[in-house]
Chain A
Amino acid sequence: MQKPSVLRSIHYLLGRCVSCHQKRFYTKCGMIHPYHISTVSVLKSPYCLNRSIYRNFLFCKYSTATKAEKQANLSSSEVKEKLDESSTSVNELSKSASGSTVTNPARELKLEEERRATEILEHLSPEKAKKLKVLRLEYDIWLSSGHRTPRNMTNAMWLELLESESVTSRNKLYKFWCIKEAAQRKHEYKKQKRKEHHLARLQERAKSNDDEDNTYPNKILKKIKDDDYHKHNFAFSMIHGPHLVIDMSYDDMRDREARNLVSQFLKCHGYNKTRSEPFHFHFCNVKKDSLVAEALYRYFINLDQILYTVSEESYLDCYPQKNLVYLSPYAKHPMTEFSYDDIYILGGMVDKVSELPMSIAKAKKDRVRCVKLPLDQYLQWTKGSKALTLDQMVMILHTLKETNDWGQALNHVPKRKFLWLHEKKQS
């Protein structure tokens, strides 16, 4: 990690277009507007403070033209020189880029799980093996007599079925997988169509301007990944706040619930990183070898590379008690405004079976202030639980922090749950 001050300067640099000097945050092309790329010799720009960092950004991902064509199209000789210098690094970069498309981490994870499941299924106890035999028979009967059953069964699925105790629970699982399978099929069909369409368009274009300049607009710059900004923002929020504590002490969850929880974290992170002032997530009370911790490390693939804190400590040891505020739907007093002095705590749990007031119990036990969102004051509630998901909570807190307006913030509550939003606070 680099020092924050250096990152800060880059941030400033990257914030302006090199050509027109107008502000340009969070874009795909980084520090220059795409329509200025071919006209400006970037490397000469006075804003380029650190050339070594800069060189790393050089790359041509989108170009389908050959290297010779590329060089022919370059207008500026200086750029040409620089390009020659860095051609080796470009090649490396493009190699690594093409490599990364092959090793899709999500697919890797799936394969890994499948391997694990196969291994477990091979070494089953005799009773479990018997049960598996029955389940396979049951699946055959259901499939052939027109029940709603998925067509392809993986070993991971069998492993999950083996855990179920009743016919009803198995029926539910089959139904869930069926829906998932149908969505997958539809997605793949659409992908195929898009690919065909794209190829057809490419061919058409190649035919129509054979003689003309048929290359893509010249892109000599590295596509600056959004991550480069995010890293800086995360570092800043880690040092200066605001922090958001996620209490991971609830390990009385089933496997699927733990997985859902982590997928909520991923959504939280997805939203959090796009903000100019992200929260620093502090995962507290992560017990080693617990189901939740295992799920967290397994499904949150790049957790190690993000500047979040995962610790076994309690939040009581990390922050002053008077500043801690637990957010719980069961609390008595509503939250009034976002305070930078307070450290907000969210309960990291998904309970689909029984909704118990666990989070307020924890707050009472730890003698931490406990507040709820002012849902009743601002929303005409219709139905559904007042317990919101973690990603919704993070979105609400962000909007509240940025606008200080509950009306806008509570727009992140799912629309099905309320009729309308009151303009002003209702008593």
Chain B
Amino acid sequence: MLSNFGMRMLIGRMHCQHIVEQFYRLLTTHTDQLLLTHHITAQHSHRTRINKCNQYKLSLRTYCSRMSRDGSTRNKSVPRVLEQTQYLQSLLDDNVQKDKLHYLSVEEWDGIFEGSSDKLRHDNIPLRLFEMLAFSTDADVSLELARSLRDYITKKGIQHSPLALDTGYMVLLSKQQGQSTLDELLAIYDDIRSQYDVLDSKSINELILAIIHTPRWKDCFELLEMIKISASPTPVTYSNIVLGALIHGDFDIAYQMLDIMHKNDMYIYDIVYEAFLANNDMSSVECFLDYLRENGTIPSSKASILMKDWFQRQYGKEYEVKCETFLSKTSDLCPHCKIPLEMLEPIREEEFMAMREAFINRVLYRKGDVYINTTPKELKKFTEFLHQSGPFDVVIDGLNVSYNTKRKVSVRHRAEIVKSVIRYFVKQEMRICVMSKKHVLNSWPRDILDYISNNATCFYTSNMDELRDHCFLLGPEPGATFKQWQLQHQIVFRGKTDNKLIFRWPPKHRTTIQRTQHGWHIPYEDQELREDFKPPHSWLCLQRLNAKPS
């Protein structure tokens, strides 16, 4: 329907339901972004969070798992978690000297924990300390110290789960080098597998994290199937398996896993980028970049830094290398190498038709329940209207445009804005359609309504409203097409200065990784939360110039 009448552009802001969905998804699955979303609510910078994590020698994952432990009180628990880690760290620092990180006896541990129970109420401090040691990102955590703490917990009869203790210890072992630790790790692993025929998702995630560093890493797939009994695997699970495959040089499996992640719209963790880019084989890295390009994946800002490092390392010896960042807001031309970015391809006809079909059935007719959004009578009227008056060059969501001002302005002022937008497009000799609601006819001034009806074709609805959740309702494939269509066709009206209207025009270039003759153009995420229909503005320009004189 939309294609037939050439609805080329759509003005106004879409309702942002799916942004909220995305936000929620990020909150539940994606730890880096979880921090960032906290950053929005707590008004602290992301950088300080990361610094604090480093300060307390805690991985982001542990940090976030602590945060999510309290469920909905996430925001409140952030300072609590920090406080807790700070306290635990101080407990170690005060009582254990750095040079003496050896096996501590029960009495020594008793001395350390003495009087600590009233500091953190309702919390199992030895267990928390063990978790902190096990999942710390710090490389030189003493294995002996952790082992002694583990023995202390079991000997003292402190409440704990043996399984959780074992898996935590395995993660710690996997970070160490050497044959003896490997043997110990595999012994514990065999013990766990023989003891339990099924396991829960938390333990399995930790097992995978440990097992990928050993020759028996292919057990991951068995464990992955086991997760599916009670929960769906998370991106972190898949990312770890990809990491394992890369450690053992099995690219086929790595790409298979990445395919699954792409299909389920999962975020790729930075460890994957790290593992791929650490590879010295140039063709494999380029193959990875091509893969990202095909899937339209946009890497994170940390990954972009890694890519920059890789490029410098790869070509730095032989060529002069230039790595710059730029914003693509204003033009489609890279300001550094003066090479234009690749143009967008229009959406293919059959894809568009599939989306159109899905849109009519699932969004407008609401899978059979037309009455939720509209009535059959009005829908019929609308289709007739499109058949008679189409095609249009531009469609304006009247109320949305009028709403784009300060909060308290008169109705006349609001109407004037719509009028000026229409005037702008009339000057460009476009065919305009204005969509609005019926109550406008009573409230807006007569002369402006006359102007609108003289210069544009209007459709006023009485029932049709709240067309939301498009991407979700459309389903996976038409939804993706819809996002693409929205990216290419939506003009956002940003406001009005004295005599000038400000629009955000859709980009003309592709927003995926691009290969140029002498390098790459890589878009990356610079904002905390980018809506799906907004293009990424930050780009990385990697290019090699002249060969260095040897």
Contacts A138-B230, A146-B123, A148-B71; A358 near B372 (Cβ below 8 A): yes
B229 contacts which chain A residues (CB < 8 A)? 127, 130-131, 134
Which one of B96-104, B200-208, B315-323, B381-389 contacts A? B200-208
A362 contacts which chain B residues (CB < 8 A)? 371
Q: Is the interface of B mostly helix, strand, loop or mixed?
A: loop
Q: Which residues, 85 to 131 on B, are CB-close (under 8 Å) to A?
A: 122-124, 127-128
B200 contacts which chain A residues (CB < 8 A)? 134-135, 137-138, 141
Q: How far is B68's CA from A171's CA once the two chains are assembled, in angstroms? A: 10
B232: nearest residue on chain A (CB-CB)?
A166
CB of B361 closer than 8 Å to a CB of A: no
Q: Flag if B463 contacts A144 (CB, 8 Å).
A: no
CB of B369 closer than 8 Å to a CB of A: yes
CB of B336 closer than 8 Å to a CB of A: no
Q: How far is B198's CA from A360's CA once the two chains are assembled, in angstroms? A: 48
CB of B309 closer than 8 Å to a CB of A: no
Q: Which of B127, B202, B203 contacts A146 (CB 8 A)?
A: B127
Q: How far is B164's CA from A144's CA once the two chains are assembled, in angstroms? A: 9
B29: nearest residue on chain A (CB-CB)?
A168
Q: How far is B66's CA from A147's CA once the two chains are assembled, in angstroms? A: 10
Q: Flag if A364 contacts B375 (CB, 8 Å).
A: yes
Q: Flag if A135 contacts B161 (CB, 8 Å).
A: no
A148 contacts which chain B residues (CB < 8 A)? 69-71
Give A178 Cβ to nearest chain B Cβ, in Å: 10
A356 contacts which chain B residues (CB < 8 A)? 372
Q: How far is B237's CA from A50's CA once the two chains are assembled, in angstroms? A: 79
Give A397 Cβ to nearest chain B Cβ, in Å: 25
CB of A227 closer than 8 Å to a CB of B: no
Q: Flag if B372 contacts A134 (CB, 8 Å).
A: no
For A, the interface residue count at a CB cutoff of 8 angstroms equals: 30
CB of A301 closer than 8 Å to a CB of B: no
Give A143 Cβ to nearest chain B Cβ, in Å: 8
A175 contacts which chain B residues (CB < 8 A)? 71-72
CB of A193 closer than 8 Å to a CB of B: no
Q: How far is B232's CA from A48's CA once the two chains are assembled, in angstroms? A: 72
Q: Which residues, 337 to 387 on B, are CB-close (under 8 Å) to A?
A: 369, 371-372, 375
Q: How far is B70's CA from A361's CA once the two chains are assembled, in angstroms? A: 39
Give A141 Cβ to nearest chain B Cβ, in Å: 4
Q: Flag if B123 contacts A167 (CB, 8 Å).
A: no
Give B25 Cβ to nearest chain A Cβ, in Å: 11
Q: Flag if A140 contacts B372 (CB, 8 Å).
A: no
B28 contacts which chain A residues (CB < 8 A)? 168
Q: Flag if A172 contacts B71 (CB, 8 Å).
A: yes
Q: Which residues, 145 to 167 on B, are CB-close (under 8 Å) to A?
A: 159-161, 163-164
Q: Which of B122, B123, B231, B372 contacts A357 (CB 8 A)?
A: B372
Q: How far is B209's CA from A211's CA once the two chains are assembled, in angstroms? A: 81
Q: Flag if A144 contacts B159 (CB, 8 Å).
A: yes
Q: How far is B375's CA from A362's CA once the two chains are assembled, in angstroms? A: 11
Give B445 Cβ to nearest chain A Cβ, in Å: 19
Q: How far is B443's CA from A71's CA once the two chains are assembled, in angstroms? A: 81
Q: Flag if B71 contacts A141 (CB, 8 Å).
A: no
Q: Which of B122, B128, B198 contacts A130 (CB 8 A)?
A: B198
A366: nearest residue on chain B (CB-CB)?
B371
Q: Flag if A167 contacts B371 (CB, 8 Å).
A: no
A171 contacts which chain B residues (CB < 8 A)? 71
Q: Flag if A141 contacts B163 (CB, 8 Å).
A: yes
A140 contacts which chain B residues (CB < 8 A)? 161
CB of A81 closer than 8 Å to a CB of B: no
Interface 1/0 per residue, A166-192 and B, CB below 8 Å: 111001100100000000000000000
Q: Flag if A165 contacts B232 (CB, 8 Å).
A: yes
Q: Which residues, 145 to 175 on A, are CB-close (under 8 Å) to B?
A: 145-148, 165-168, 171-172, 175
Q: Which of B128, B199, B372 contacts A137 (CB 8 A)?
A: B199
B161 contacts which chain A residues (CB < 8 A)? 140-141, 144-145
Interface residues of A (CB under 8 A from B): 127, 130-131, 133-135, 137-138, 140-141, 144-148, 165-168, 171-172, 175, 356-358, 360-362, 364-365
Jot down 13 A-B pairs with beta carbons below 8 A, ordered by A. Answer: A127-B229, A137-B199, A137-B203, A138-B201, A138-B202, A144-B164, A145-B127, A146-B122, A148-B71, A165-B231, A166-B232, A167-B201, A362-B371
